[in-house]
Amino acid sequence: MGVYGFPAGLPKRPFEERYRRLLGPDYEAFLRYTARMPVPSIRVNPMKLDPDILLSRLRRGGWILEGLPWYRHGFRVISGPAKLGNTPEHQLGLYYVQEAASMAPPVALDPRPGERVLDLAAAPGSKTTQMAEMMGWRGVVVANDPSPSRANSLAANVQRMGSINVVVTSYDGRTITRHLGEGVFDAVLLDAPCSAVGAARRDWTPLRRWSLRSVRRISRLQVSLALEALRSLRPGGRMVYSTCTLDPEENEFVIHRLLSEGAEVEEVSLPGMVTRPGLTRWEGRELDPSLARTVRIYPQDNDTEAFFIALLRRSRS
């Protein structure tokens, strides 16, 4: 094994050199946390059963739970069954096994009852079903994924969680307005495909695959999806763009591109979560100062995966 419990050769030298520049003195702590598994977490479903009743039932069964400050229905599982996805409560849709930081993008978007919401890259459905619950199953969530097999998995999770206000579609996200129209949604969530460095806490594959070339390739896809997501918003509508990675090309650079298309950056509110401001400069390139309102979530700050979250509003003009 290499340092911090990584297999020998992980992370790659180009990754290390780049992330040392990116994170500075935080790099060593970032690496230590990335090299170990996070505490698992669940999101209870308040629409199927009173959360207090479910939590009492789980605790009587020996579960030790710790609430997440940024989402009132989110809990770390300090102690519980070895396979959280293999319990009657899970099969009945009373809870969803979901990484703690993954619950933050829907909180930042704040979908409301009666709204029309688009989840542009929705599979496997954790954020889709969370938003449906936040809306009290009122309004509609269009959950889209271009892969038929992933869309089937998404539909299965929607059914298991009982999310009756969700419609599943399977379009190429880069052409979504061709199918659903422009300016029709009150809110859009784009949890974009990414290099997934943050997910390396559960699976080292992203570190094995990481390269600057792949980051730049993914960034081009992200820009295409983000522009289409923005077009699908009504004037004054809001959008959250998120990734589980920290590379600026996949995060701040994407948002910087949207600013020229009528997007405005707003403050992200995640009470109880430790966040860092987004970058306004990277490797000699000056970015819009409003990008400081976006947030970076580091593993060592909350013992979660790494995430980036931006809250945008489409200009009314």
Q: Span 118-132, mean pLDDT?
A: 98
Span 230-250, pLDDT tens digits: 999 999 999 999 999 999 999
* Residue-by-residue DSSP string for 140-170: EEEEE-S-HHHHHHHHHHHHHHT-TTEEEE-
CA angle (167 as vertex; 46, 308 as ends), nearest 5: 70
- Model confidence band, residue 303 (pLDDT cutoffs 50, 70, 90): very high
pLDDT exceeds 80 at position 317: no
158's CB contacts (< 8 A; 6+ apart) are 125, 128, 129, 132, 143, 166, 168
Separation CA 100–CA 267 (nearest Å): 21
Q: Tell me what percent of the residues of the chain surpass a pLDDT of 90.
A: 96
pLDDT of residue 235: 97
250 close to 307: Cβ distance less than 8 angstroms: no
HSE of 311 in the Cβ direction (CA atoms, 13 Å)? 17
Q: Is residue 31 over pLDDT 90?
A: yes
- Residue 244 designated active-site: yes
CA atoms within 13 A on the CB side of 193: 20
pLDDT for position 316: 84
Which one of the listed residues 244, 254, 279, 312 is annotated catalytic?
244
All domains of the chain in start order, with CATH: 39-97 (3.30.70.1170), 100-314 (3.40.50.150)
Between the CA of residue 57 and those of 16, 33, 34, 113, what are the distances in Å?
45, 32, 33, 29
DSSP notation for 179-210: HH-SS-EEEEEEE-----GGGGGT-SHHHHH-
Q: Among 253, 300, 305, 302, which residue's Cα sits nearest to residue 278?
A: 253
Residue 223, SS3?
Answer: helix
Task: Report pLDDT digits (tens) over 192-215.
Answer: 999 999 999 999 999 999 999 999
pTM for this prediction: 0.97
The pLDDT of residue 109 is above 80: yes
User: Is there a contact between 73 and 42 (Cβ–Cβ < 8 Å)?
Assistant: no
| Average pLDDT, integer, range 223-232 | 98
The conformation of residue 112, written as its DSSP 8-state character, comes to: -
Which pair of tokens denotes residue 215? Answer: 């980051």
β partners of residue 189: 119, 240
Confidence of residue 3 (pLDDT cuts 50, 70, 90): confident
Q: Does the pLDDT value for residue 156 go beyond 90?
A: yes
Please say whether the beta carbons of 134 and 166 come within 8 A.
no
Helix (H, G, I), strand (E, B) or coil at 238: strand
Cis peptide before 25 (omega within 30 of 0): no
State residue 105's pLDDT score: 98
